[in-house]
């Protein structure tokens, strides 16, 4: 009896590819037309790189802000904002 994990179905792969595509910012704008694999991979790489750049940029700006921050009240405020619609 083959274990459940030793075979991955085509449906699972298709689902994964479609999830990846819906994650990408461009795909949401263009609609549901299926991108080629090469395009999907390229946009995924671009997306991850852009997220890395954002983290780097945010770290720069946070670094400037840090000296005068009250961390406890900031934390409370963010938690509140997470629960606002």
Partner 1 sequence: MQVPNSFKLALLKQMLLGFQLSAVSSNSMSFHERKNAIKLSADAAMVFARGSTRWTRGLVASLSKNRNNEDLLRGILGKKYERLSLPCCNSWKIPRSRKILKRCLGLCSRRKKATGTQHDVKSSSTLARRLVKKRIQVLKKLLPGGESMEGFSLLDQTLDYAVSLKAQVDVMRRLLKISKASNLNLHLKEEEEEEEEHAQRH
Binding residues for partner 1 (CB under 8 A): 5-10, 12-14, 16-17, 19-20, 22-23, 34-38, 41-42, 44-45, 47-49, 51-52, 54-56, 58-71, 73-75, 77-79, 81-83
* Residue 5: exposure state from Cβ atoms within 10 A (0-12, 13-18, ≥19): exposed
Smallest separation, CB 1 to partner 1 (Å): 16
Smallest separation, CB 26 to partner 1 (Å): 14
Which residue number, 31 or 70, has a Cβ lying nearer to partner 1?
70
C-alpha 34/C-alpha 12 separation (Å) is 16
CB neighbour burial string for 52-69, b if at least 16 within 10 angstroms, e if fewer: eeeeeeeeeeeeeeeeee
Which residue number, 30 or 42, has a Cβ lying nearer to partner 1?
42
């Amino acid at each position: 009896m083959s274990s459940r994990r030793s075979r991955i179905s085509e449906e699972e792969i298709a689902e994964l590819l479609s999830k990846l595509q819906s994650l990408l910012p461009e795909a949401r704008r263009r609609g549901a037309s299926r991108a080629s694999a090469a395009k999907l991979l390229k946009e995924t790489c671009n997306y991850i790189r852009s997220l890395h750049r954002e983290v780097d940029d945010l770290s720069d700006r946070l670094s400037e802000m840090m000296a005068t921050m009250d961390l406890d009240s900031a934390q409370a405020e963010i938690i509140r904002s997470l629960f606002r619609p």
